[in-house]
């Protein structure tokens, strides 16, 4: 692996920069919705929603370096920073020059984590030290949960649909039901899908025995149905990570960690072929 290029707030002080046109988000998600430029990825994650920590909002952009107008990583980060610090929409003249010499700007740049923290963070990534692992870490993107199936079986006084459309009452009162979930790595491949399915279906067997009508069969069918588009994505792109993020596994060459605390995480990433921004805000 080549030496990691790390930027911090000091890299942008006392310099002039040429602005550039920034990409529109590749994906955006919050507690109620998810959008992605690939409609198949969007459909899958709306079927099995992302469960980040608490209330959340995240955004990812991805710029192929062939479309970067010759800009280097420092210019890409500086343009993003300029817009964020001033809470501005992209100017009509994106190529306008700017600097960070104002008192407000320099104070904000000083608050950015030091380069050593960014180096430590990249070293902590478990396998590939690649952009997709940052996405997985920030957003819990690899967690698939079927909570609503669990909840449908424990609504007090509501009938639970059984096979053949026949309804039977649930047990009186609420019962604790175990979570039904899977944690998938970004390198999930088509041959791994059956194992994910079997593990999820095994969890159904641990549900407390309730009156006839507990929709185990319906729940199993729903899990099967929702895993099918995941299998299709892996078959089409090779891995789940490559379906979600272009250049997912390319090694990180450069990084700028704007924030990394409990409520706000934002990373700017450089690889051989792409520039990325990955940000998450929670409450």
Same domain, 90 and 153: no
pLDDT at 90 (0 to 100): 56
CA 39, 41, 42, 44 dihedral sign is positive
Alpha carbons 70 and 131: distance in angstroms, whole number: 21
pLDDT, mean over the chain: 85
Same domain, 256 and 123: yes
Residue 249 has pLDDT above 60, yes or no: yes
Same domain, 11 and 88: yes
What pTM was computed for the model?
Answer: 0.85
Same domain, 14 and 92: yes
Same domain, 11 and 115: yes
Q: Quick one: three-class SS letters along 12-51?
A: HCCCEEECCCCCCCCEEEECCCEEECCHHHHHHHHHCCCC
Same domain, 72 and 193: no
Same domain, 220 and 177: yes
Residue 247 has pLDDT above 80, yes or no: yes
Number of domains in the chain: 2
Same domain, 157 and 277: no
For 192-242, the pLDDT digits (tens) are: 999 998 988 888 776 655 444 446 677 788 888 889 999 999 999 999 999
CB within 8 A of 73, min separation 6: which ones? Answer: 5, 7, 254, 256, 268, 270, 275
Query: How many alpha carbons fall within 13 Å on the CB side of residue 214?
Result: 17
Same domain, 230 and 246: no
Alpha carbons 71 and 74: distance in angstroms, whole number: 8
Same domain, 216 and 102: no
For 40-55, the pLDDT digits (tens) are: 999 999 999 998 777 8
**What does DSSP say about strands 97-99 and 274-282: parallel, antiparallel, or unpaired?**
unpaired
Alpha carbons 159 and 217: distance in angstroms, whole number: 15
Same domain, 213 and 251: no
The domain in which residue 212 lies consists of 143-236
CB 77 within 8 A of CB 268: yes
Same domain, 169 and 258: no
Widest pairwise Cα distance in the chain? 72
Residue 74 has which token pair? 């420092």
């Amino acid at each position: 692996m080549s030496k990691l290029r790390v930027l911090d707030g000091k890299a942008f002080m006392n310099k002039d920069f040429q602005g550039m046109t920034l990409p529109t988000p590749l994906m955006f998600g919050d507690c109620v919705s998810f959008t992605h430029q690939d409609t198949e990825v969007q459909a899958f994650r709306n079927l099995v929603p992302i469960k980040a920590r608490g209330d959340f909002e995240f955004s990812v952009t991805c710029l192929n370096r062939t479309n970067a107008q010759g800009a280097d990583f420092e210019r890409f980060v500086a343009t993003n920073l300029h817009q964020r610090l001033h809470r501005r929409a992209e100017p009509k003249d994106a190529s306008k020059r700017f600097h960070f010499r104002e008192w407000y700007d320099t104070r904000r740049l000083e608050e950015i984590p030091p380069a050593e923290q960014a180096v430590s963070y990249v070293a902590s990534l478990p396998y590939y030290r690649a952009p997709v692992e940052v996405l997985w870490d920030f957003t819990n993107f690899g967690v698939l949960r079927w909570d609503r199936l669990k909840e449908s079986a424990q609504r007090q006084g509501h009938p639970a649909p059984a096979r053949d459309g026949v309804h039977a009452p649930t047990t009186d009162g609420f019962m604790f039901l175990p979570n039904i979930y899977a944690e998938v790595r970004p390198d999930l491949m088509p041959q791994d899908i059956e194992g994910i399915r079997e593990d999820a279906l095994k969890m159904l067997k641990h549900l407390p025995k309730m009156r006839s009508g507990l929709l185990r069969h319906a729940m199993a069918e729903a899990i099967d149905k929702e895993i099918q588009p995941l299998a299709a994505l892996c078959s089409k792109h090779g891995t789940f990570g490559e379906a979600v993020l272009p250049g997912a596994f390319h090694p990180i060459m450069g990084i700028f960690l704007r924030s990394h605390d409990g409520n706000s995480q934002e990373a700017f990433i450089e690889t051989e072929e792409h520039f990325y921004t990955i940000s998450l805000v929670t409450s």
